[in-house]
Structure 1
Amino acid sequence: MRKDCLYIICTLLVGCCLSCNNQTSLTLPSSGRPYETLVVSETAYWDSIAGRSVADVLNSDISILPLRERSFRFMHITPQQFDGTMKMVRSIIMIKINSRYTKPRMVLQRNPYAAPQIVLAIEAPDEGTFVRYVNKYSFQIIKTLVQFEMNTKILSLREKHSGVVSQAIDTIFDGCSVFLPQEFHSVKVGDDFLWASTETASVSQNFVMYSYPADTKTFTIDYFVAKRDSVMKRNIPGRSKGVYLSTDVSNLRLLQLKNRTEVRGLWRMKGDYMGGPFVSQLYINPSNHRVYVVEVFVYAPDRPKGNLIRGLEASLFTLKMPVNHIKDKN
């Protein structure tokens, strides 16, 4: 095994985070907001290329948004300052550079000081090795931190969610369930279609679920866009004739994953100036040859959208379908 290979000393993060509800009553609650992290490092390393390499990773763009937004907000403290309330922060990165380490690696801890909490220590024998390692595994670092936030949100949704939406989904989609935040109260239904939303003066958050017969081209971009636009035109029209929610085809990403297909992109109101990001997940039921789509999208013209869409995206992972009725693609 190569010396610079990735080591993550933990069980799978998904399983770890979803078992947080088994924590003892003595565990203190963590502090901090989602998608914010604390970096613990000696000042000399933080002010050098080692610190800049970590900052560059955290400052990397969230994919497919109308404007650039960084993945994480962060703050730096020294190991001497890492005590008391600082140990309660929900997401922590520790820069550890010391000649006693024989090779670079990442060590992941779950809830060492509070819950829910993730502490990611990046170890290396020297600064140059540290920087090369961080640059090589920048995607895995972001993925680990994002997955922690997603799993934390999923656990929260399982405990508290909108009963109105859950009941409607169960009725329309034959026993399926999806957990949305409690503030989702507005529900519109159609033929094999549901649209749930919640709005404030500055933000509109939305969830849609729909179903249609599968086709040999179901999991291609062109077919997805054509089907999505037809469903949205029929069910989410604008205030004026000919205005409806559509897909911006200039920036789409389709991923074929193990048990689902994921599409990320931008939506726009055809004939209007409204728009924003969306995330869709598609599943197929081989027994009845139907596709089931769950999607979230947001409209927030005067504020960042990255954390809004990521917070809603967690709801997509709460989808449950009857075993004897719906199956994943494979």
Structure 2
Amino acid sequence: MKKIFSILVITILLSSCVGNDKVILKESIGKLNKVMVVAKISDWTGDVGKEVRNSFGELIVGLPQPEPILDVSQVAPSGFSSMMKASRNILIISESNNEGFSVKNNIYAQPQTVVYVQAKDDAGIIKLLQKYKKEIKSIFLEADVKFTQSIFEKDKQDNTHYKTLQNLGISLTIPTKFNIVDDTGEFLWLRNHLTSGIAKTGSNNILVYSIPLTDESKVADNIVAVRDSIGEKYIPGTDAETQHMITEEAYTPFTFDAVIDGKKAYETRGKWEVKNDFMAGPFLNYTIIDKKNNRLIIFEGFTYAPSVNKRAFLFELEAIAKSMKIK
């Protein structure tokens, strides 16, 4: 009987130890839209490194200054120290007989995304990078979107403060640094004042509104016309009689397929300007097809930040847009 009791006690103690035996990962570090590449110096200075830089260094459309989709930096495997392992986005390139591409999360820190690309030789590695470059970029960008949203979640506005969001039946994770410019119940305009640039008068802006869904086949073709009509109605320049926001006529926007809250959408990137004025900047527009409610929901973010890079500002707006939930 004593033996049975002893075994029972030991079993309970062991179970308790296992239950509490958790590995606590340190917090990851690193800038948004930046990837640490672990590769041999000979690979980085050769064709493999060239392929990585060409793939990740593709320029973002719609920005006034040339800015890459992702910044990359390199460290040799021998220099991949504890501090380097804390990077949030890591791409590990190596030679191996087990050729392939894989993704793991929270290996050395959290949140963290680690992508592995391995092949028998440089030619095999380059082939894999070319085959999966879009997927790899999307993996890192989506991870950064979620990371940004998690930061905003800690300091977000109560959506009940916005009449338009309540009337449209949608929610967004909007940081408290955004203030209301206009909230009519049908149209919402929020602004975050920036302190970057020569003018020191920059701003990040959010617009949210809805229009009826009439012909789904023409939605993409009408995005510019719709945003120009909204600019004329709601976004005046210094002289409201002669100035308002329009799509820059000298630059054709780019439109891509997208998905927001599980619904078909279009992502449009381009440049805006104020008619009869010198103000201009990039915009990001998401037009979401809400068939259930027979409407289009439009989220637009636009930035005014003279003389400085604008990728980070647009990325914040993208993260907010992708937090949208539609009732």
TM-score under structure 2 normalisation? Answer: 0.83
Are residues 1:230 and 2:229 paired?
A: yes
Which amino acid in 2 is paired with 1:43? I
Range with greater deviation from structure 2 (309-318 or 226-235): 226-235
Paired position in structure 2 for 1:53: 51
Aligned residues: 295
User: Structure 1 regions of 5+ residues with no counterpart?
Assistant: 1-23, 323-330
**Residues 217-267 of structure 1: CA distance to partner in whole angstroms, max 9, x if unpaired?**
674444222221111211110111311111125321223445222222211
Paired position in structure 2 for 1:89: 87
Give the distance between the partners of 2:276 and 2:43, measured in 1 at CA: 52
Q: 1:127 aligns with which of 122, 147, 156?
A: 122
C-alpha displacement of 1:109? 1.0
Residue pair 2:30, 2:87 contacting (<8 A) in 1 also: yes
Asked which structure has the greater CA Rg, the reply is 2
Q: Residues 213 and 220 of structure 1: is their aligned pair in 2 closer, same or farther, counting only changes over 3 Å? A: closer
**Residues 24-78 of structure 1: CA distance to partner in whole angstroms, max 9, x if unpaired?**
7822110111111211112222221112211222222112222211122222111
Residue pair 1:169, 1:177 contacting (<8 A) in 2 also: no
Paired residue secondary structure (1:251): coil
Give the distance between the partners of 1:29 and 1:72, measured in 2 at CA: 21
Residue pair 1:94, 1:121 contacting (<8 A) in 2 also: yes
Q: 2:60 aligns with which of 37, 59, 62?
A: 62
Paired position in structure 2 for 1:161: 156
Q: Residues 274 and 291 of structure 1: is their aligned pair in 2 closer, same or farther, counting only changes over 3 Å? A: same
C-alpha displacement of 1:160? 2.6
Paired residue secondary structure (2:28): coil
Are residues 1:175 and 2:169 paired?
A: yes
Which protein has the bigger helix share? 2
**Residues 154-200 of structure 1: CA distance to partner in whole angstroms, max 9, x if unpaired?**
2333333123x652056642432111222112331235100001112
Residue pair 2:118, 2:125 contacting (<8 A) in 1 also: yes
C-alpha displacement of 1:207? 0.4
Which amino acid in 2 is paired with 1:42? K
Paired position in structure 1 for 2:12: none
Residue pair 2:163, 2:185 contacting (<8 A) in 1 also: no
Q: 2:137 aligns with which of 137, 142, 165?
A: 142
Are residues 1:33 and 2:31 paired?
A: yes
Paired residue secondary structure (1:271): coil
Give the distance between the partners of 2:114 and 2:258, measured in 1 at CA: 28
Paired residue secondary structure (2:248): strand
Give the distance between the partners of 1:310 and 1:29, measured in 2 at CA: 22
Residue pair 2:237, 2:244 contacting (<8 A) in 1 also: yes
Paired position in structure 2 for 1:242: 242
Are residues 1:267 and 2:272 paired?
A: yes
Q: Residues 171 and 226 of structure 1: is their aligned pair in 2 closer, same or farther, counting only changes over 3 Å? A: closer
Give the distance between the partners of 1:75 and 1:286, measured in 2 at CA: 44
Give the distance between the partners of 2:285 and 2:163, measured in 1 at CA: 17
Paired residue secondary structure (2:101): strand
Give the distance between the partners of 1:238 and 1:108, measured in 2 at CA: 48
Range with greater deviation from structure 2 (202-211 or 285-294): 285-294
Residue pair 2:164, 2:185 contacting (<8 A) in 1 also: no
Residue pair 1:42, 1:79 contacting (<8 A) in 2 also: yes
Paired position in structure 2 for 1:15: none
C-alpha displacement of 1:309? 0.3
Q: Residues 219 and 184 of structure 1: is their aligned pair in 2 closer, same or farther, counting only changes over 3 Å? A: farther
Residue pair 1:179, 1:318 contacting (<8 A) in 2 also: yes
Give the distance between the partners of 1:219 and 1:265, measured in 2 at CA: 19
Which amino acid in 2 is paired with 1:277? P
Q: Residues 243 and 25 of structure 1: is their aligned pair in 2 closer, same or farther, counting only changes over 3 Å? A: farther
TM-score under structure 1 normalisation? Answer: 0.82
Give the distance between the partners of 1:45 and 1:286, measured in 2 at CA: 50
Q: Residues 320 and 72 of structure 1: is their aligned pair in 2 closer, same or farther, counting only changes over 3 Å? A: same
Which amino acid in 2 is paired with 1:284? I
